[in-house]
């Protein structure tokens, strides 16, 4: 280890580290534009200049390795003067359009202009104008005038996405960022360039001009787009999800997230065909009824069938809490051995970076908590076959559109009772005899278990009429201030949805079970006590980085109801 001094403080540092890394590891900020911890060093912005004792001139902290005995000053008069000069040069041709720039509020150039520049410009000539609103690809727009040529986006495409699609052309003040001839920025991770762009040069075509960062709440949650479980922020304004951005987790997704996860996985939260209230089939039409009526109807109907005539279909889209209580309900209350869920795989979706062929967020979790056939019970395909033969007469389907396959839809039509939980209208809900509106991942607390066995928290970022507010979901520290506003938003959106665990608990209670759960955390506490792989876990311990399941033998052990 090398002993170095930074701003009068002595630290022991790995000699392979650079000055900027050493400072960052010890809570000292050195301003920078071009440097990124996961990209190669380019050293072209010069914002990270520092003074190193016995060196004849200032050194760039991003490319200077530490040495034993090194003495570094990050805020000496010489450094401050150089920093101000760098900022003055960067702002010479930069447009004064902060009031209309999407990056305002999260822009490094804006922040550093306040902190490190002299506050005035000596340049009074005509600025160099460059192209604006350039469509680099299907999701990214470029305003070249704002670009400070840090090359972060170029290096990301080459080193992380492995798709070299961006480059610089021309020279001096006329340098332009562009795509290679015949190329466009269309790789599966293109929108990460927006996040790492330190200015407002690269913006999202979908999010552009929709909201300011200070007008939105950001909630720490997990992407439901595949079994990777990328950590992300859900950004909400007026109870509507407007964008999703990656959240750093070195054990899962580092700083990155695919475009599909950003753009597609929240669209169903605000779709027009959300199921707004419980429904029951009357005269071959689904009509709205109250929650109490629907739950009572489901309990009464289930009681009219033999245990062997009932099957339950769980969901890899649901949380561990939802699936745990569902399998407990199936075994203890319905008494059926026939419980399973559908595995959804798309090999074309998988890549070598983040995306997984399993396009559900919780396959391993559903298996681990016990959503699988009991002794002599039937798997999904056998259940469908048994419905066709007339042996299975009642099915409870939660949060999976199994009737999207026309052959399965035809079989489900033969049932005497089909109870469905889902958030929006689809092929399965149209066949339901009793239909419950379930909360989406953005509207409930819970946990997902990713493909590697990491258990991670999801938190509600938008409000429903049945919001679980005992936890820290929808910016819970702000609920006291904004609680009444959330209620108005939820009513305005008519989001009368409930998490699956709560719907299941309601039906079970009317069928004689004594389920006393008030929150998702109550369910998880019981889950952690009863399922060996989750032993010792709690929401507090899971935190914002997640916890690994116990040893594999615990994961595969049978779970008794």
pLDDT of residue 75: 94
How far apart CA 170 and CA 114 sit, in angstroms, is 30
Residue 9's SS3 state is: strand
What count of other Cβ atoms lies within 10 Å of the Cβ of residue 142?
27
pLDDT of residue 369: 98
**Residues recorded for the chain:** 561
Order of strands, edge to edge, in the sheet holding 140-142? 134-135, 140-142, 202-204
DSSP state of 345: B
User: Taking a C-beta distance cutoff of 8 angstroms, is the pair 417, 393 a contact?
Assistant: yes
Q: Average per-residue pLDDT in the chain? A: 92
How far apart CA 389 and CA 369 sit, in angstroms, is 30
What count of other Cβ atoms lies within 10 Å of the Cβ of residue 352?
6
How far apart CA 193 and CA 198 sit, in angstroms, is 10
How far apart CA 314 and CA 177 sit, in angstroms, is 49
Give tens-digit pLDDT for 349-405: 999 999 999 999 999 999 999 999 999 999 999 999 999 999 999 999 999 999 999
How far apart CA 138 and CA 190 sit, in angstroms, is 9
Give tens-digit pLDDT for 32-69: 999 999 999 999 999 999 999 999 999 999 999 999 99
Sign of CA dihedral 110, 114, 115, 117: positive
List the Cα angle 349/353/356 in 5-degree steps: 35
pLDDT of residue 207: 96
With bands split at pLDDT 50, 70 and 90, how would you rate the model's confidence at 96? confident
Does the domain at 279-459+495-555 match CATH 3.50.50.100? Answer given as no
Residue 117 has pLDDT above 90, yes or no: no
How far apart CA 4 and CA 23 sit, in angstroms, is 10
Q: Report the CATH number of the 98-269 domain.
A: 3.30.70.20
Residue 453 has pLDDT above 70, yes or no: yes
Sign of CA dihedral 495, 501, 504, 505: negative
Burial class, 28, CB count within 10 angstroms (exposed 0-12 / middle 13-18 / buried 19+): middle
Give tens-digit pLDDT for 131-174: 999 999 999 999 999 999 999 999 999 999 999 999 999 988 89
Least confident window among 103-112, 492-501, 518-527 = 492-501
Q: Structural domain boundaries of the chain?
A: 2-91, 98-269, 279-459+495-555
The tokens for 512 are 């004689």
How far apart CA 427 and CA 514 sit, in angstroms, is 34
pLDDT of residue 487: 53
Sign of CA dihedral 475, 231, 489, 465: negative
Question: What average pLDDT score do residues 416-421 get?
Answer: 98
Domains 2-91 and 98-269 fall in the same CATH topology:
no
With bands split at pLDDT 50, 70 and 90, how would you rate the model's confidence at 480? very low
Residue 417 has pLDDT above 60, yes or no: yes
Q: Report the CATH number of the 2-91 domain.
A: 3.10.20.740
How far apart CA 478 and CA 473 sit, in angstroms, is 10
Q: Which residue has the higher pLDDT, 561 or 231?
A: 231
């Amino acid at each position: 280890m090398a002993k170095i001094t930074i701003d009068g403080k002595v630290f022991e540092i790995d000699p392979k580290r650079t000055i900027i890394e050493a400072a960052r590891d010890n809570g000292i900020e050195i301003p920078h534009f071009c440097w990124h911890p996961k990209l190669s060093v380019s050293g072209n912005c010069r914002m990270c200049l520092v003074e190193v004792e016995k060196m004849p001139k200032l050194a760039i902290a991003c490319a200077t390795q530490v040495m034993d005995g090194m003495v570094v000053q990050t805020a000496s008069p010489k450094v401050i003067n150089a920093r101000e000069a760098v900022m003055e040069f960067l702002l010479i041709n930069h447009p004064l359009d902060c009031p209309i720039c999407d990056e305002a509020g999260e822009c490094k150039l804006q922040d550093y202009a306040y902190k490190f520049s002299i506050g005035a410009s000596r340049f009074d000539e005509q600025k160099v104008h460059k192209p604006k609103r350039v469509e680099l690809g299907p999701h990214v727009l470029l305003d070249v005038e704002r670009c400070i040529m840090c090359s972060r986006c170029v290096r990301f495409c080459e080193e992380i996405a492995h798709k070299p699609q961006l480059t610089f052309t021309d020279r001096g003040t006329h340098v332009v960022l562009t795509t290679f001839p015949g190329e466009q920025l269309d790789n599966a991770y293109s929108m990460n360039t927006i996040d790492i762009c330190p200015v407002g040069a690269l913006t999202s075509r979908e999010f552009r001009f929709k909201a300011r960062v200070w007008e939105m709440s950001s909630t720490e949650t997990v992407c439901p787009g595949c079994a990777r479980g990328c950590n992300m922020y859900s950004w909400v304004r007026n109870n509507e999800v407007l964008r999703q951005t990656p959240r750093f987790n070195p054990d899962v997704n580092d700083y990155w997230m695919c475009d599909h996860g950003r753009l597609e996985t929240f669209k169903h939260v605000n779709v027009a065909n959300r199921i707004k209230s419980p429904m029951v089939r009357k005269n071959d039409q689904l009509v709205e009824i109250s929650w109490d009526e629907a739950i009572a109807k489901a309990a009464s109907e289930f009681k009219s069938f033999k245990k062997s005539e009932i099957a339950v279909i769980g969901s890899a889209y649901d949380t561990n809490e939802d699936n745990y209580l569902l399998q407990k309900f199936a075994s203890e209350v319905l008494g059926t051995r026939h419980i399973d869920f559908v595995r959804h795989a798309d090999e074309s979706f998988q890549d070598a970076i983040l995306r997984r062929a399993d396009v559900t967020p919780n396959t391993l979790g559903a298996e681990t908590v016990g959503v699988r056939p009991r002794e002599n019970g039937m798997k999904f395909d056998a259940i469908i076959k048994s419905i066709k033969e007339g042996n299975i007469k009642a099915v409870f389907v939660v949060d999976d559109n199994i009737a999207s396959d026309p052959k399965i839809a035809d079989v489900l039509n033969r049932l005497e009772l089909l109870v469905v939980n889902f958030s929006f209208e689809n092929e399965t809900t149209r066949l339901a005899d009793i239909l419950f509106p379930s909360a989406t991942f953005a509207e409930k607390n819970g946990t997902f278990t990713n493909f590697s066995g990491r258990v991670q928290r999801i938190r509600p970022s938008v409000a429903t009429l049945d919001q679980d507010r005992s936890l820290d979901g929808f910016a819970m520290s702000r609920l006291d201030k904004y609680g009444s506003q959330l209620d108005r938003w939820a009513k305005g959106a008519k989001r009368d949805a409930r998490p699956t665990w709560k719907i299941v608990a309601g039906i079970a209670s009317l069928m004689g079970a004594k389920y006393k759960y008030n929150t998702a955390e109550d369910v998880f506490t019981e889950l952690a006590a009863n399922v060996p792989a989750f032993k010792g876990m709690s929401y507090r311990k899971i935190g914002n980085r997640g916890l690994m399941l116990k040893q594999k033998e615990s994961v595969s052990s049978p779970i008794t109801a």
